[in-house]
Amino acid sequence: MMWLAWRLNRTSLLISLTTIAILITATVTAGSYVPRYPQISWSFLRMCSRWNDVGPCRPETALTLSTLCALLLPLLLGMFVGVPAFARELDARAHVVALTQSTSRIQWYLAPVIVVFLPISGAMTCLGLALHWATDLSRDSSSADYGPSVSFSWFDFPHFETAGVVLGAYTLLMLLVGSTLALTFRSGVMSMLGTLFIFLFVVPVAFTWIAREHYGSPAVDSEPISGLYRESEYPPDPYYTTDGTWVVDAGYVDSSGATVRAETARCAQPYPDGNPRAEETNEERSERARLENLDRAARFDDCLRDQGVDRFDIRYYTEDDFWRFQAIETGLMLTFGLVASGVGILGVRRLT
């Protein structure tokens, strides 16, 4: 069965592995050029406006395209490798001959998984590790004004999904999902559409936006209310960081730490009279303005306290949690892959 699985799927397998090898080569090559430009930091979607641009433009373009391909490849592999791995035999009724021979149904199912799915998933894991290495070199920058900083957090989309071991687990899951849908629907088109729907739900919705922040208990920084400053025309952005910290939540809370949805509009304070008074010096005017602004800020905070606000909390994860989160999500993907594989085996048992 292994030889038969190889003969039936060798074209798609070789094309897949060649594509992944090209992406790994492009990623490693781009990563080797990055240290030449220590003042430049790369972030996703940085690309050349013209291919003859010099400097870090071409390495940035290579990293952007490699990251984008790594993000989409699990879906494409699930649709165009996972689905046909079984749909091709089902459409031609070739499985009838195989299942009437000495081959068991479990062996018939596992052969493409071992020969096709596992090598592709392993190669995608290598691509994820290569992207982690290359983008780690390219996201750091330093300047005389701001010092060292990073252009993105490892937890940001799509870096968490592509730069690490979870990329291989995503790929294996989508290959198994595609094959299971092919065994269930026995229609290549329906199976591909189902794979697309599941991929769009799993990657950007279920995990990136919902589940991932609950893999652990975030650290909490408590700050003063400072409502007047936070509700100003140009308020500070607590979600913006330069050290790779992933802020998952920020807002007003009460003394127990529960979120408070304060009505800040009713706390608005009138602006003080900035006109100079008779016989008032510039120093006296500046001091009066300072005291009036402090009073406005205090009254704004008192208004928020009347609504139950005690402080402003910022909940976050540091990058020390990155590999732990990668391990958790990889485990979840492998678990779901086992479930999909179990459903696929049930579908094989019902084949006639």
pLDDT in tens, 107-155: 888 889 999 999 999 999 999 999 999 998 888 765 445 556 788 999 9
Average pLDDT over residues 254-280: 83
pLDDT recorded at residue 175? 97
Residue 92 has pLDDT above 60, yes or no: no
Do the beta carbons of residue 321 and residue 216 sit within 8 Å? Answer: yes
199's torsion region: left (phi>0), alpha (psi -120 to 50) or beta?
alpha
**Rounded to whole angstroms, how far apart are CA atoms 253 and 264?**
14
**Rounded to whole angstroms, how far apart are CA atoms 267 and 265?**
5
The gap between the terminal CA atoms of the chain, to the nearest Å, is 19
pLDDT band at 96 (very low <50, low <70, confident <90, very high): very low
**Rounded to whole angstroms, how far apart are CA atoms 307 and 99?**
70
pLDDT in tens, 29-76: 998 887 777 667 788 888 876 666 667 788 888 999 999 999 999 999
Tell if the pTM clears 0.85, that is, is over it: yes
pLDDT recorded at residue 51? 62
State the average pLDDT for the chain. Answer: 87
**Rounded to whole angstroms, how far apart are CA atoms 256 and 53?**
55
What amino acid occupies position 277? R
The rounded percent of the chain whose pLDDT value lies above 90 is 55
**Rounded to whole angstroms, how far apart are CA atoms 32 and 27?**
9
Alpha-carbon Rg of the chain, whole angstroms? Answer: 28
- The tokens describing 39, both together, are 């003042």
Average pLDDT over residues 150-174: 94
**Rounded to whole angstroms, how far apart are CA atoms 157 and 246?**
11
pLDDT in tens, 299-348: 999 999 999 999 999 999 999 999 999 999 999 999 999 999 999 999 88
Average pLDDT over residues 268-280: 72
